[in-house]
Structure formats: C-alpha cells, structure tokens
Structure 1
Amino acid sequence: MQIDGTIVAPDEPASWDPNYARLWLHFSKLNGIIFQGNGVIDGSGSKWWAASCKKNKSNPCKGAPTALTIDSSTGVKVKGITVQNSQQMNFVITRCNSVRISDVIISSPGDSPNTDGIHITESTNVVLQDSKIGTGDDCVSIVNGSSNIKMKRIYCGPGHGISIGSLGKDNSTGIVTKVVLDTALLRETTNGLRIKTWQGGHGYVRGIRYENVKMENVANPIIIDQFYCDSPKSCENQTAAVEISQIMYRNISGTSKSPKAMKFSCSDTVPCSNIVLTNVNLEGKDGTVETYCNSAQGFGYGIVHPSIDCLTSHDKDYTFTPDIIEVSEATSQEIVHAEL
C-alpha cells in the first residue's frame, strides 16, 4: 500500500456516516501487508475536538473516528507515513500479530482531546521504532491483551507520555506483559513513563522494562497509578485491582516539572511488587523533588535520585533479568521474541 500526497478527511462531523462513527481509514484481515511512502493522512479534526466534552463539559461525551486502523492482521509493516490532526485516536493497531512500525510521524496539537498517537490493543509481537509522536493524549498507549511490545528510539512531546493502560475499567480484566522501551526522549509531556489502572479491575501488568530514557521538563516522569479515574464524577473505592509487578527502570534521567518526580500509588489490597530502579537521576526544574509511595514494594541499586526509601522491600535478592527483546526475520514477518 503506497501512500503519497495527502489524504484528507471530511472536516464536518455532521456529514459523517453514523454507521462508521468510529472509523475512517480501516484495514482488516491482511497478511504480509506493507504500508509505505512519504504521504500524509490528515483527519481534519478541529471541529471534532471543539465538540468534545473534554473541551466543553456542556458537550455530550461521544466517540469520534480513528484516522488509521489496522485490525486482525499478521505480518504488517508500516514505514515513513505521517498521521496528523486525527478526529480522535491517530493510529490504532488492534488484534494484530507481528507488526513493525518505523519512521512514522504522528502530529496533533497538544490540546486536542483523546488523540492518542499509537494505540496498541489485543496485539502481540509489535516493534515500534525511530518515530516522532506529538499529540493531545498518550504518545503510545498499550492496553489489554497486548504482549511482546518493543519500542526503540522514540520521541514523545507534546502529549501524556508513554502509557500502559488504562486497564480494569468497569471491573474488567486487563493483561499486559513483556513491554520494553529502549532509548526515548520525552519533552514537555504531562506524564513520562506511566502505568494506569482503575480500581475494581482484575488481571496483571508484569515484565516491563524502561531504559535509556531522557526527560525534559516532564510532569510525573515515573508514575504507577492504581487509582486512575478519568471520569466526570469521583470513582468509588474498591478492593480489587490489576496486579502490577516486575517493573524495571534503568538509566532514566532528566528534569521533572512536578515536585513528585516518582509516584508509586498502589492498591492497599493488591500492592505493586518487584519494582527495580537502577541509575535513575531526576532533578527538579524548580526546586527539589521526591518520591511518593503507597503500598509499593521494590528496591534500587546504583544511583537512584530522588530517594526511594518509601519503597518497602521483602526480598532484595530478587533477580530481574529482562533480556533485550530480539528482533528476527521469519517468512516476511517481523517476530519479537521476549524473555523477561
């Protein structure tokens, strides 16, 4: 699929076919497909954003189209294209296996609501590399049913950072495993490396490694939040929670816009466990920074700043060996083998 020139969406929400309210360019059930070129996919999203309830609380909350969706496909390569100004999410990978995305640009204004850059759901063996993402929501969001995800050399900003979740909404089950982010720059984002789950959920997040990440004036550079609540009304306290364990942060540095540079806000009944930090150095852009913990267990070695004394540790002999994900070629498909 060669994409050149610019593909422009209709800019009037009222003219959109209600039978396809959440989709614009949608590709499904493909095997061995390559999307390439220097073209631009432009969602013409400004009127959709103005109608969002996140822009104006008097507006009804409803979904808007995703600019580009690849669904239920295997052996997918996406290279070189630009997706911009999406009506809602920019680029979604759903129910796919063996995907390689490289040299893509995702661009939406920092104040555009719910415009996730690249959203990965129910997908396995995904490589995302050498890409620049700036948007009004998560630069990358990885949600339920996803595993063996490798991200390398990623630029993020503006946006809400690189997120796992949200998971567990409405007491649902969420599972994400074996995710690696290696070499990234996050600049002026509202979050950095974030894991977010709703109270009442089930499932687990485990085997996650972040390494070689530079932060520039990032609010919440490192955050685990098991009390996530993206709702107009307050969320009720619940004892069930998505379990979070085996999370490693290695070679993370830069500046924090907020005084709490690291936040591990975990469930009292399902604490976070086996959080490992090594060579982490986060400084305050204006003043000192600290670490906040609630029901979080783990330890650090090497330089770890700010201090993580608030983490409890029951087993400092715990061995976390998240070997680098190896990318190999197999019958025209890019497969990711992860041993975490």
Structure 2
Amino acid sequence: MLFLISFFQLVLLVQSLEPFVYDVNFAGAIGDGESDDTEAFKNAWYVVCSSYVSSGIFRVPHGQKFLLQPLTFNGECRSKNITFQIDGILIAPSDPSSWKCKDTNCNNWITFQHFDGLIIQGTGSLHGQGRKWWQMGCIQNKVGFAILDSKNVHISGLTSVDSDDCIEIGDGSKYININRIFCGPGRGISIGSLGKNGRKETVEYVTISRANFYTTENGVRIKTWQGGHGYARHIRFERLSFNRVTRPIIIDQYGCPPHQRCNNHSTAVEISNILYNDLRGTTNSEIAVEISCSESVPCKNIRMKDIQLNYGINGEIYYGHPKSHCSNVVQSWDEGNVYPNVPCLTN
C-alpha cells in the first residue's frame, strides 16, 4: 500500500514537471494569412502567462500564416520559464494605413519586455512586409522583434524578412543570446538606439553568432543618441556572414533625428568591450566598416579578429577595395587578418 501511494505521487510529480503547451489555434487563431489573428495571440499569451506551471510553451504551428498587428508580450508571468516555439509564418500588415496600434511600442511590430528567462526558437519566419514603408520614405519604419528590459533571453533558428531592424535590443537588456538567424532584406540587427532625449539607458552581455545577412542596409549596428547617458558593453559578434550588405559593421554615437541638425554634446552613452570575430562576406558599398565615436566619450576596448569583407554581389567578388571609417577609438586592437584595414585599431 505504501508503495502504491509513493508510485502515484511520483506519477503526479512527473506530470507536473511536463511543460504546459498552448497552441495559438486553441485561442481561435485562423492562420490563413488574411484574417487578423492579433486577439487570438493575446488570448493565448494570457493563458500561458497566467498558468501555474513551472514552464510554458507558446506554440505557433508549422504550415500556417498569421496576420498580426503590433503586439507586446509582457514577461511578468507566474511561470518564469517560457518558450515561444515559432514554426509558422508571422505576417505584418502590408500597408502603413492598416497599422493599428494604441500601445507605447507602436514603432515595433512584436515586442518582448520585462522577461527574466525567455527562449524564442523554431523554424518559422517573420515577414515585416516593409516595402511600402520604404517606398513612402517613412521616417520611422517598423522593427520586427524588439527586446526591452529583459535578461536571459535566447533567440535561435528564425528568419526575418522585410522588417526595419530584424531584431532590436533596447534599454535594460542583458544576457541576450541570438544565434542561427537569417536576416534580410531589412536593416540588420541593432543594439539601440540608446540615450534618446538625454536618457540613461543600458545594454550589456549580448552575443550574436552564426547569423546570415542578405541585402540588408546594415549588418550589426550599435547606435546611441548624442547627449545620452548609460552604456553598451560586453557585446560579441561572432561567425557572421554577409551578402551584399551596405554597412556590415557600424558603431554610431552621433544619433540624431532625421532631417535635423544636432549640436555636439559633451555626454554620450559609453561603448566598450566589443568583439567582432570571424565576420565574412560581401558589401555593395565603398565603406564596409564605420565606427563613429564621440570625442568626449570615445569607444574603448574594441577588438576585431579575422574579418574578411570584400566588394561583391551574390557571393561573387568584384574588383574594388572596400574601406573603413574610424574615429575616436582608444585602447583597441585587431588580431589575425582584418580586411578592410581599420586604422584606429592597433596590433
């Protein structure tokens, strides 16, 4: 009898350790690429977030397309171990006039904020459908995934097409790991912008690895606003591939609103301890590496190792020698072969 009770308790324990899986179709998602599935995703998230489970899985199934308006997923949940399993296709509204948002994150399509422990993975893709935004010359296009005020976030295996930034890592983010991402067309992966309107904003301990960029405007970018405070530090870019990317590597501490002339400031978001390791591919512009740092708060401890960026299209290398631009960098160096040469780095 004692054995039977113990065995029954063990079965209950094993069952309780199984992750709670909730499919967006359970919440009424249609998945035909035309019906608006935003409310179904919100309802599915409410179920996962409010469940008394040790771990939860928010599942987007393979073989379906889900049209979504801007969404914010807030990580203040009962379960602290949540996985977004994205195997289907997420589609943004194709026309700027059909963009519906009353949220504070309206410049982002899908936002994840206030998480401590989050996995985003799968074989699915995000289609930002940003071409009409670009054709209209919109000043503020829409970011695909935005990570805000979160830590211990892992993103892997996804494809992002036709978004502004494929992924944007914003203020309050740390211990972020992104790998096996395909990005493009679009504007690459960005850290920032940080420090707008003089704010103190921070990002640290970020690793971006094994990502592929195709015809993006930027590859990997760190951007801060003039006059800001805070820091972007301990960031690693490793094993990245570029195909016809205009600016594969960018650090820009001179952020300024479009079509405005900004005065120089004596304060800036500090940028330090940045590693670029094993970055290869082609650029279609004259400047492949652009590092523009503040005179008053220069970038420091920038390290480049084994960089090979040629001028070419679709993997074919053509005659021409891409260049670099680099200013106000201290205590930094290069290792191995770095091409194009970045003169402000010392061996």
TM-score, normalization: structure 2? 0.75
Out of 288, 292, 306, the position equivalent to 2:340 is 306
2:57: which partner in 1? 34
After superposing on structure 2, the runs of 4+ consecutive aligned residues of structure 1 that deviate more than 4 Å are 7-11, 26-31
Provide the rounded CA distance (Å) in 2 between the counterparts of 1:9 and 1:68. 21
Residue aligning to 2:96 = none
Check whether the contact 1:143–1:166 (CA below 8 A) recurs between aligned residues: yes
* Aligned position for 1:244: 271
Contact preservation (8 Å) 1:112, 1:136: no
C-alpha distance in 2 between matches for 1:173 and 1:151: 24
When the two structures are aligned, how many residues end up with a matched partner?
282
Alignment of 1:271-290 (within 5 A): 271-285=298-312, 287-290=320-323
Q: Does 1:99 align with 2:118?
A: yes
Q: Is the 8 A contact 2:56 2:82 kept in 1?
A: yes
Change (3 A) 1:3 1:170: same
**Cα deviation code 1:6-43 (max 9, x no counterpart):** 177888xxxxxxxx9xxx84746546331112343313
Kept in 2, the 8 Å contact 1:207–1:246? The answer is yes
Superposed, which structure 2 residues align to 1:77-226 within 5 Å? 77-79=83-85, 80-86=87-93, 87=99, 89-103=108-122, 104-113=124-133, 114-226=141-253
> SS state of the match for residue 192, structure 1?
strand
Q: By percentage of residues, which structure has more helix? A: 2
Letter in 2 for 1:300: D
> Taking structure 1 as the reference length, what is the TM-score of the superposition?
0.77
* Contact 1:67–1:83, Cα closer than 8 Å, also in 2: no
Deviation at 1:238, TM superposition (A): 1.3
Query: Which runs of 5 or more structure 2 residues have no equivalent in the other structure?
Result: 1-21, 94-98, 100-106, 134-140, 313-317
The whole-number CA distance in structure 2 between the counterparts of 1:142 and 1:182 is 15
Structure 1 alignment gaps of length 5 or more = 12-19, 44-64, 317-340
CA RMSD of aligned residues (A): 2.3
Q: Percent identity?
A: 32
SS in 2 for 1:221: strand
Three-state SS of the structure 2 residue aligned to 1:117 is strand
> Which residue in 2 is equivalent to 1:292?
325
